[in-house]
Each structure stands twice: as C-alpha cells, then as structure tokens.
C-alpha cells in the first residue's frame, strides 16, 4: 500500500479559499479536503465537479447519495463510505435501510434505487463498459439516458476523492466516526 508523505507546505491561495468556504458552509474542513488541498488543482476540480453534480446531474439528493455510496463501495474507499453515510443520514435523508444495504453489499429494498446502485457499481467496476441489457434494466425503472451520463459524472467526482484517499489516508473526521466502514 502506498503512503504519500505530505509535506507541511504553505497552503496555496486557491486551496485556502476553498477551505474558508467549506468552513463557513459545513462548520469544519474535512480531513479529505486538507489532504486534497496539497494540490489545488485536485481540490478545485473535486469541489467544482461535486457542486456541479449536486446541481446538474438530474438526480434528487437521495439518488445522488446512492451514486456516491455505490462508487465508494466499489472503489473500497473507507473515508467516503463513512462521510457519505453520515451525509445520507443527517443531510440528504437517505433511508437507513438503503444506506446500510449499500454499505453491506446487499439488495436495496427500493427497486428504483437498487437499479441506480447496480448500474453505478457496474459502470465503476467495468470502467464504463456495460452491456445494453444493463442500460435497459436501468431505463425500465424510470430513468433516462441522460441519467446514465449523470452517473458517469458522479463516478468521476467520487473517483477523484476515492483515489486521493487511497493514497493520502486522511483520518475519518469525528463527525463521520459513527459511520466508519470496512468492506
């Protein structure tokens, strides 16, 4: 396992601006952001893409969390699983049985959310290469082809954070500690 040794370098102005905005909005700066902030291009790309996904993906907040949790599960990212389980519980109001099913690799009790998670996980695991049958199974529950592209945007966002976390190993923040996860 690779461990990056992050130097105590002066935080770039762009990273500091993102930290300040995050502190104001969330009340703290997540450890993941602090790690990502060592390269302002990564932190800026992540926060911009994250905010765009939230605003423009075509998914409601519960569906967005299902995408983020499904990608993080497939990429085995302990930090993001804890963080997005917390966000799902406290902010986006994902039913606990949905969050727990994703966390446990079990069937989601809601048919539409199950189809969303299944396609998200398959697209993640197969690097975007899925069968038309998989797409059709997703479309038949009421999603559109535009939603497939929305999933791809969500995968891109979470892959940035998952890969960063795999290499920088940020400590799970106290706020997320109640939802620590191991695959």
Residue 85 domain-assigned?
yes
pLDDT on residue 144: 98
User: Does residue 106 fall inside a structural domain?
Assistant: yes
Locate tokens 């909005």: which residue? 25
Instruction: For CA atoms 100, 106, 109, 111, give the dihedral sign.
Output: positive
CB 71 within 8 A of CB 123: no
pLDDT at 145: 97
User: What is the pLDDT at residue 83?
Assistant: 97
Count the domains in the chain.
Answer: 1
CATH number for the domain spanning 106: value is 1.20.1290.10
DSSP alpha helix (H) spans, the chain: 13-26, 31-36, 40-56, 61-74, 78-90, 96-104, 111-125, 132-139, 145-168
| Integer angstrom CA distances of residue 100 from 22, 41, 70, 96, 128 | 27, 33, 11, 6, 25
Q: Are 170 and 3 in contact (CB under 8 A)?
A: no
7 in a domain, yes or no?
no
What digits encode the pLDDT tens for the residues 65-95? 999 999 999 999 999 999 999 999 999 999 9
In a domain, residue 122? The reply is yes
Residue 142 lies in a domain: yes
Query: Does 4 have pLDDT greater than 60?
Result: no
What is the pTM assigned to this prediction? 0.92
Domain that holds residue 163: 60-179
How is residue 170 annotated by DSSP? P
In a domain, 49, yes or no: no
For residue 11, tell me if it sits in a domain.
no
For residues 17 and 47, the answer to whether their CB atoms sit within 8 Å is no
CA angle, 8 then 82 then 182, to 5°: 100
11 DSSP assignment = P
Does 159 fall in a domain? yes
């Amino acid at each position: 396992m690779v461990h990056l040794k992050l130097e105590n370098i002066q935080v770039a102005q762009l990273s500091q601006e993102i930290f300040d905005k995050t502190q104001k909005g969330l009340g703290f700066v997540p450890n993941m952001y602090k790690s990502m902030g060592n390269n302002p291009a990564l932190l800026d790309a992540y926060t911009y893409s994250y905010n765009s996904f939230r605003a423009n993906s075509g998914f409601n907040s519960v569906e967005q969390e299902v995408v983020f949790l499904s990608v993080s599960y497939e990429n085995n990212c302990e930090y993001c699983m804890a963080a997005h389980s917390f966000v799902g519980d406290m902010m986006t109001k994902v039913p606990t049985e949905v969050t727990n099913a994703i966390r446990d690799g079990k069937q989601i009790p809601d048919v539409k959310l199950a189809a969303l998670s299944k396609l998200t996980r398959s697209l993640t695991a197969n690097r975007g290469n899925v069968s038309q049958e998989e797409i059709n199974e997703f479309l038949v529950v009421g999603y559109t082809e535009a939603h497939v592209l929305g999933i791809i945007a969500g995968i891109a966002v979470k892959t940035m954070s998952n890969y960063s976390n795999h290499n920088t190993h940020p400590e799970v923040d106290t706020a997320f500690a109640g939802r620590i996860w191991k695959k």
